[in-house]
């Protein structure tokens, strides 16, 4: 598949140094490790802009797409949680059902969504929640809901349970199990026929996945239209960087506990969003972070199936991000 634009079309500072660095990957363990459709010079060019430029509009962004900087993780949680709660409230005031595709990561916004919904006394019986993914084996068999690492467990604990009497009814909670995930598209289509809005909440993966729709899946599709039409996948093989990302952020560095496969929605669902609410807050503190390059790629690479998150700015909605992720993305050796 051809990229949105070639590296030669990008004017970037330090291009010769970038190319020299990239050339050293040949014959190294990195060769064949990163997704083969990645244009590394183009990726590096995404990260050369000054931090203040991160919100500059790009030609392919939807007119209704807006990146929102947040000064701290605490601000991020409140602001994204408020956006979720307002979206739920608006649908109720309009008297229409709401289909929410929900991530488990980021997570801090759910506490504040619950707070605002309770403060405003907004019942959520008009909401249908669809978990976007779940850990699995290669056959799509998922962790039991009681497992501490299961996304169903996380969602029940962080969102559905704390809402109490205002919560989304149990029959309207969909989890990405092998028997339920294949029916997401049909059920969401039915809800849209009833006037529902589809709102996709999401985080951005280290290799720019949305849900667990990984970049290397692009190699399996003969054209962009077929890639865009894929609604889901059972037992999806995860990229090693995805596994390590989750080891660091969710499994206290214990890589051996992270499943190598997952069930996930695909672009056939997340690109059908009427509105998106995204989040990127991947900072570790002490100047360390993991998500800055992924955020810049999302906003500046241009729509490309090898960078799934690059399509999200083509949709209306907001992407909340921790300001530190904007950079500058330069080495710190002290």
pTM recorded for the entire structure: 0.93
Domain count, the chain: 1
- Contact (Cβ atoms closer than 8 angstroms) between residue 52 and residue 86: no
Domain extent, residue 80, equals 62-326
Comparing 41-50, 63-72, 325-334, which segment has the lowest mean pLDDT? 325-334
Lookup: tokens for 320:
């909340």
Grouping H, G, I as helix, E, B as strand and the rest as coil, residue 234 is strand
Question: Is the separation of the CB atoms in 70 and 79 below 8 Å?
Answer: yes
Q: Per residue in 94-151, pLDDT tens?
A: 999 999 999 999 999 999 999 999 999 999 999 999 999 999 999 999 999 999 999 9
Is 131 inside any structural domain? Answer: yes
Whether residue 9 lies inside any domain: the answer is no
- Structural domain includes residue 334: no
Q: What is the CATH number of the domain that holds 305?
A: 3.40.50.1360
Domain assignment present for 14: no
d(CA 263, CA 201): 17
> What is d(CA 121, CA 250) in angstroms, rounded to the nearest whole number?
32
Please write the tens of the pLDDT for every residue from 256-287. Answer: 999 999 999 999 999 999 999 999 999 999 99
Residue 76 lies in a domain: yes
Judge whether 51 lies within some domain.
no
The pLDDT value given to residue 267: 98
- Crossing angle of helices 73-94 and 108-120, in 10° steps, is 40
Q: What percent of the chain has pLDDT over 90?
A: 89
Angle, alpha carbons 285-289-295 (nearest 5°): 135
Burial class of residue 12, CB neighbours in 10 A (0-12, 13-18, 19+):
middle
56 within a domain of the structure (yes/no): no
Residue 26 to residues 6, 18, 19, 22, 288: CA-CA distances in angstroms?
20, 14, 12, 8, 28
Task: Pick the more confident residue, 274 or 19.
Answer: 274
Is 11 among the domain residues? no
């Amino acid at each position: 598949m051809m990229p949105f634009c070639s590296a030669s079309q990008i004017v970037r500072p330090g291009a010769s140094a970038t190319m020299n660095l990239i050339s050293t990957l040949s014959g190294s363990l990195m060769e064949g490790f990163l997704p083969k459709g990645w244009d590394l010079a183009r990726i590096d060019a995404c990260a050369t802009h000054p931090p203040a430029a991160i919100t500059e509009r790009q030609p392919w962004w939807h007119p209704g797409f807006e990146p929102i900087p947040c000064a701290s993780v605490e601000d991020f949680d409140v602001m994204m949680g408020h956006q979720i709660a307002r979206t739920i409230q608006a649908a109720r005031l309009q008297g229409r059902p709401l289909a929410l595709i929900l991530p488990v990561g980021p997570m801090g916004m759910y506490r504040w969504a619950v707070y605002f919904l309770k403060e405003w006394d907004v019942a959520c019986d008009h909401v249908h929640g669809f978990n976007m993914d779940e850990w699995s084996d290669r056959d799509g068999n998922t962790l039991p809901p009681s497992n501490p690492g299961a996304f169903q467990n996380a969602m029940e604990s962080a969102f559905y349970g704390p809402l109490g009497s205002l919560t989304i009814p149990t029959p309207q909670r969909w989890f990405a199990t092998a028997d339920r995930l294949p029916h997401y598209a049909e059920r969401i289509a039915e809800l849209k026929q009833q006037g529902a809005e589809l709102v996709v909440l999401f985080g951005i993966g280290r290799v720019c996945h949305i849900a667990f729709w990984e970049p290397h899946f692009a190699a399996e599709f003969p054209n962009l239209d077929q890639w865009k039409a894929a609604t889901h996948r059972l037992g999806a093989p995860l990229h090693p960087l995805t596994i390590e990302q989750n080891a660091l952020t969710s499994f206290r560095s214990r890589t051996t506990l992270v499943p190598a496969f997952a069930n996930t929605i695909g672009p056939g669902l997340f690109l059908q969003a009427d509105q998106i609410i995204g989040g990127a807050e991947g900072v570790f503190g002490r100047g360390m972070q993991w998500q800055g390059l992924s955020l810049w790629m999302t906003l500046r690479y241009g729509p490309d199936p090898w960078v799934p998150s690059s399509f999200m700015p083509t949709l209306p909605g907001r992407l909340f991000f921790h300001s530190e992720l904007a950079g500058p993305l330069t080495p710190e050796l002290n």
